[in-house]
Amino acid sequence: MIKILIIEDDSELALILTNYLTKYDMEVIGAEDPYIGLSLLTQHDFDLIILDLTLPGMDGLEVIPKIREISNIPIIISSARDDITDKVIGMERGADDYMPKPYDPRELVTRIKTILRRTSNIEERKSQREELFVADAKAREIRFKGKSLELTAAEYDILLMLLQHKNGSVSREQLLYESEHIDDDSSVKNIDVIISRIRQKIAKIDPDNIYIKPIRGVGYLLTDRA
């Protein structure tokens, strides 16, 4: 469920928007006072903020940088002020969209979904960029720092298992018996040989760090921390 914070001192409008957004599987919490809104932001995990500009105690344009001090949450400005300067300043300070009142609530729903879809895609791409190891099950491929590792079937099995247990230890026995491409009659010492080969292939891309670490008496651990 999408969770929305509305900072709006017009209680009638806030109620209308709340009732409408609820129909679209959105949970809405409202605050008439900007200071209360900022406090709620530290207490709950919201997906988006709808922010009025004309607020008691603090102008909405001043609220935006205070939000940005604690969160990158998307902000939609909802204001009856139609001065282009307000829109420009609002966007420069970190707002994601500006909707001049009055507007159709259906458009608000569309704007919310569009912004959340865009920010979700950005976060997903950012996460993928930050992941050192990325596995592609369909292609049976593992990329390290964006480069494909040329792995044998057994090496792929072992590295994939380590990746699935990232930052946790995996025993040599588990690596041996759960691999589809290692003979069950093989010695666990064969795992050490395969691990050594995988390390060498990783080192060709990053020779300065060791990502597969031995766990004495147990097996190995894959870390994604350089």
Q: Does residue 46 sit in the same domain as residue 73? A: yes
Q: How many Cβ atoms from other residues are within 10 Å of residue 96's Cβ?
A: 19
Q: Please, what's the b/e burial string for 113-130 (b: 16 or more CB within 10 A of its CB; e: otherwise)? A: eebeeebeeeeeeeeeee
Tell me the sheet residues that pair with 2.
Answer: 26
Both 195 and 91 in a single domain? no
Q: Domain check: are 144 and 214 in the same one?
A: yes
Question: CATH no. for residue 177?
Answer: 1.10.10.10
- Which helix (H) or strand (E) segment is 192 a member of? helix 189-203
- pLDDT tens series, the chain, 226 aa: 999 999 999 999 999 999 999 999 999 999 999 999 999 999 999 999 999 999 999 999 999 999 999 899 999 999 998 889 999 999 999 999 999 999 999 999 999 999 998 887 666 665 555 678 999 988 999 999 889 999 999 999 999 999 999 888 899 999 988 888 887 667 788 999 999 999 999 999 999 999 999 998 889 999 876 5
Query: Is the same domain home to 108 and 195?
Result: no
Name the residue range of residue 90's domain.
Answer: 2-129
In the numeric block, the tokens 């420069």 are attached to 92
Task: Read off the pTM.
Answer: 0.57
Domain boundary among 101, 129, 157: 129
Give SS3 for 3: strand
What's the first-to-final CA gap in the chain, in angstroms?
36
- State the greatest distance between any 2 C-alpha atoms of the chain, in Å, as a whole number: 77
In contact, 135 and 160? CB cutoff 8 Å: yes
Q: 120 and 161: one domain?
A: no
DSSP sequence for 21-80: HHTTTEEEEEESSHHHHHHHHHHS--SEEEE-SS-SSS-HHHHHHHHHHH----EEEEES
**At which of 100, 129, 158 does a domain end?**
129
> Are residues 93 and 158 both part of a single domain?
no
Three-state secondary-structure class, residue 92: helix
Same domain? For 195 and 158 the reply is yes
